[in-house]
Amino acid sequence: MHKSKIHVNLILILLLTTFFSISLYAPSTANSTIPILYIDPPSTTVNATETFKINVTITDVTDLAGWELKLYYRNSILAAVKATEGSFLKQGGSTAFFIVEFNNNYNATHGRIWLTCTLLGNVSGVNGTGTLTTITFQAVAGGYTTLNLADTVLGDSQANPITHTTNDGEVTVIGAHDIAVTNVNPLKTIVGQSCTVHINVTVENQGDLTETFNLTVYANTSEIETKQITLDSNTSTTITFTWDTTGFAKGNYTISAYAWPVPGETDTADNTFTNGIVWVRWPYDVTGDGYCGIDDIVNVAEHFGTMPEDPNWNPIYDINCDDYVGIDDIVMVAEHFGETDP
């Protein structure tokens, strides 16, 4: 073989050997680890009114000398309580930790926490994984919110930015269940036997979730009526119950209402409300002397034409319970003239 050709082949072999040597042994950046800034734990479930903490953690960082972050959250779900510096950056020496903004009402829907921290002096940065800050929240109401990391900055000891990624967190708040009866109002305090009484009951959903529950009204310990109510959170409503006194003995009855507790409800002391005494009596003795006489007829006649909205309305003269004192009421009393309360 010609000497010049052999020489060229040797050069090619040396070049190829050098190329493969570089490819095999030169350091590769393809699999280098990129630091991750994340919320720890990534998912939290708490009850309404509960206080809890989350960490903002950095993983696999090299030469970290300073950091800055903003954290957004729904202010109808959470309220931030405080933020403290974590232990990670302190490994490098003294630090300066600043709360730039701590605002639960950053805008109409969100709160914002803005924090920054840096090592002091001409020192090397910190390597590894650890907590940058711990933030305490209180759950305000039931619902779901993300903990959104934004505008995050990591810097090394030479003031160079450190490339990194972020992972947001999430919080689910299990709403408080709390139903309360706030008022009971019988619209008559005296009623004739076999007549009806309307009873207004006001209930309030003091919890964070829409609730469906049973509401029962009692005369003494006897159930008058039960209704199923659906009520949105932080709202109230007034429900009218009708008590037919047929079959009830004459006498005084204490009126109460009871909202049956919903699943998970712990505050049940306000589920019962008692108010008002209704006197069930013989309807034809409007004067209360035990006898149906001319004075009873006259009293009913003097209230002829009155209705509940009139200032001189008195339901005792509404003998047939139709919310109007008419000629039929006078006739009914007259038909029992001379009788005594049985």
- Residue 89: CA count within 13 A, CB half-sphere: 27
Exposed/middle/buried for residue 232 (C-beta within 10 Å: 0-12, 13-18, 19+): exposed
Q: Is the pTM value of this prediction over 0.85?
A: no
What is the model's pLDDT at position 32?
62
What averages of pLDDT result for each successive group of 10 residues across the chain (342 residues)?
40 33 33 88 93 98 98 97 98 98 98 98 96 97 94 97 98 92 93 89 92 97 97 95 94 97 92 96 88 95 94 88 92 94 85
- The one-letter amino acid at 112: R
Distance (Å) of CA 202 to CA 209, 225, 240, 305: 18, 15, 9, 31
Q: What is the architecture, at CATH level 2, of domain 36-174? A: Sandwich (2.60)
Note the Cα 217 to chain centre separation in Å: 27
Exposed/middle/buried for residue 5 (C-beta within 10 Å: 0-12, 13-18, 19+): exposed
- The one-letter amino acid at 320: N
Two tokens at 169?
Answer: 């967190």
What is the model's pLDDT at position 194?
86
CATH number of 176-277: 2.60.40.10
In angstroms, the CA 297 to CA 275 distance is 32
316: DSSP letter: G
Q: Name residue, tokens 């305490």.
A: 136
CATH 2.60.40.10 domain position(s) in the chain: 176-277
Two tokens at 338?
Answer: 């001379």
Q: Assign residue 75 a region (left: φ > 0; alpha: ψ between -120 and 50; beta: otherwise).
A: alpha
CATH superfamily of 282-342: Dockerin domain (1.10.1330.10)
- Least Cα distance to 257 among 305, 213, 196 occurs for 213
In angstroms, the CA 31 to CA 33 distance is 6
CATH 2.60.40.680 domain position(s) in the chain: 36-174
Pairing state of beta strands 36-40 and 51-74? antiparallel
CATH 1.10.1330.10 domain position(s) in the chain: 282-342
In angstroms, the CA 62 to CA 59 distance is 9
Kindly report the three-state secondary structure assignment for every residue of 116-179: EEEECCCCCCEEEEEEEEEEEEEECCCEEEEEEEEEEEEEECCCCECCCEEECEEEEEECCCCE
**Residue 263, helix vs strand vs coil:** coil
Contact 88, 126 (CB under 8 A): yes
In angstroms, the CA 109 to CA 136 distance is 19
- Least Cα distance to 196 among 75, 136, 280 occurs for 280
